[in-house]
Amino acid sequence: MDDFTVYGNTFEEALKNLGKVLIKCKETNLSLSHEKFFMMFTEGIVLGHHILGDGIKVDRSKVEVISKLPIPNCQKDVRSFLGFTRYYRRFIDNFTKIASPLFKLLTKDYEFKWDPDFQSAFETLKTRISGALILRGPNWKLHFHISTDASDTTLGVVLGQNDLVPYAIYYNSKNLTPTELNYIVTKKDFLVVVHAINKFRHYIIGYETFVHTNHSAIRFLMNKHVINGRVTTWLLLLQELNITMLDRPGKQNTIADFLSRIQNTKEASLVEDKFPDKYLFAVTTKTPWYADIGNYLVTGKLPPHLFPSERRKIIQESSKYSWIPNELFKTGPYLVIRRCVREDEMPDILKACHDEPCVRHFSDKRTAYKILSLGYHWSSLFKDTKEYVKRCDSCQRVGNYTTINKTSVCTGALCATLGNQLSTTN
């Protein structure tokens, strides 16, 4: 095992976590090198990044090495230089535009000849790395803010938060594909929102997020009843997260607007967009309803507290299920495979299939069949759908009479008619 880090928000918490790690090392017979063992630091180097209390910046020792590099003499030297700078791409504003001249040297059958344009790009990248900004890490107690902008050829997004003053967490830009270049302006502005959500999903999932865009027509698409399949897919993606759309004029959205104005060149498309530290900082989970079946399929073991009849039932039911990495699927009639969803996903799916702008308020059975047709399954699907439709305010206000209501109305009308006849006879 190579490097690992034990951390905590306070000294006591860090000490407690360190004790747990040392116990695990002892249990697994792992030995630690005293020469590389450092304790109780308030800052340090982790995976080439200098972690501070205020944020994250580049490792100064690596910056000093790269600042002293001589002019490359071959394609191998250029590739090595670009590989290093690309690792710190999140710190370099407008990286694609700056590095595009150097990527010409990496193309096949290109004569290696160093000219002033290459020298300018080489020196600019070294200067930008030396003066890289400090990017702060996410504060999980604050809301996330995403600024987006789309030009004719490029998308630009910025992830940040607001703690008295706004600060940035990550910059990103993307060139449009040939198909996406044919989108209308409204769809391009919707596409940049979807790109930002996919890019920063590991940050914003489970947290309230505000998306700032300079195109108010997106909210019109979100409330429109007749839309095409692509926009419907995007809407379903947005409904999985807690997102609020806000309008921001272009003159106030300078950073994302600048990133989206980068020219779409053939060389720029060679720049790979990799995020080296894409991992979650905190995860909260709850045992799903299919936990026993999933554990049995993976490990072949059953919970010891179950009765024999319950164990037999799990074994029999498991023949209908399949465990595909990290997901459980059920094979239904006609060999239709549906994904088993967790409890936290059920409300969003019910809402999307019953009362969202792109669907109508169907009955409980029709809504349940809609969910099944989309490839979702859970054990209490029809029961939950019936309860959800009963609680729907629109259905209760403008829905049709049920059988019970019709019977009561007819009975009341009949009694009123008989009463009028009797009073007339008297």
pLDDT per residue over 322-334, tens digit each? 888 778 888 887 7
The least confident of 253-262, 292-301, 367-376 is 253-262
Cα–Cα–Cα angle for 279, 284, 288, nearest 5°? 115
Least confident residue range of 2-11, 305-314, 416-425: 416-425
Which CATH code fits 144-270? 3.30.420.10
Query: What are the DSSP E strand ranges found in 32-181?
Result: 44-46, 49-51, 56-58, 144-150, 154-163, 165-175
Do the Cβ atoms of 30 and 2 come closer than 8 Å? no
pTM of the model: 0.44
Q: CB count, 10 Å around CB of 242?
A: 14
Instruction: Give the residue carrying structure tokens 């999985």.
Output: 240
What pLDDT is attached to residue 267? 43
Superfamily of domain 58-130: Reverse transcriptase/Diguanylate cyclase domain (3.30.70.270)
- So what's the pLDDT on residue 102? 81
Query: Of 351, 322, 354, 314, whose CA–CA distance to 339 is shortest?
Result: 322
- Give residue limits of the domains in the chain: 1-41, 58-130, 144-270, 291-398
* pLDDT tens string 209-223: 888 877 666 665 665
The answer on pLDDT for 268 being more than 50 is no
Q: What would the mean pLDDT of 345-369 be, rounded to a whole number?
A: 81
Give the pLDDT mean for 75-79. 84
Burial letters for 74-96: b for 16+ Cβ neighbours within 10 Å, e otherwise?
A: eeeebeebbebbbbbbbbbbbbb
CATH number of 291-398, picked from 3.40.718.10, 1.10.340.70, 3.20.20.70, 1.20.1060.10: 1.10.340.70
Q: Is the pLDDT of residue 243 over 80?
A: no
DSSP letter string over 28-44?
TT----GGG---S-SSE
As a whole-number percent, the residues of the chain with pLDDT over 70 amount to 76
What's the pLDDT at 406?
47
- How many helices and strands in the chain, by DSSP H and E? 17, 12
| pLDDT, position 295 | 83
Instruction: Tell me whether residue 57 is exposed, middle or buried, using C-beta atoms within 10 angstroms of its C-beta: 0 to 12, 13 to 18, 19 or more.
Output: middle
Task: Report how far residue 129's alpha carbon sits from residue 127's, in angstroms, rounded to the nearest whole number.
Answer: 5
For residue 373, give Cα distances in angstroms to 86, 115, 190, 230, 367: 44, 60, 26, 18, 10
Place of tokens 């914003």: 204
Higher pLDDT, 337 or 94: 337
On the question of pLDDT at 24 being above 50, the answer is yes
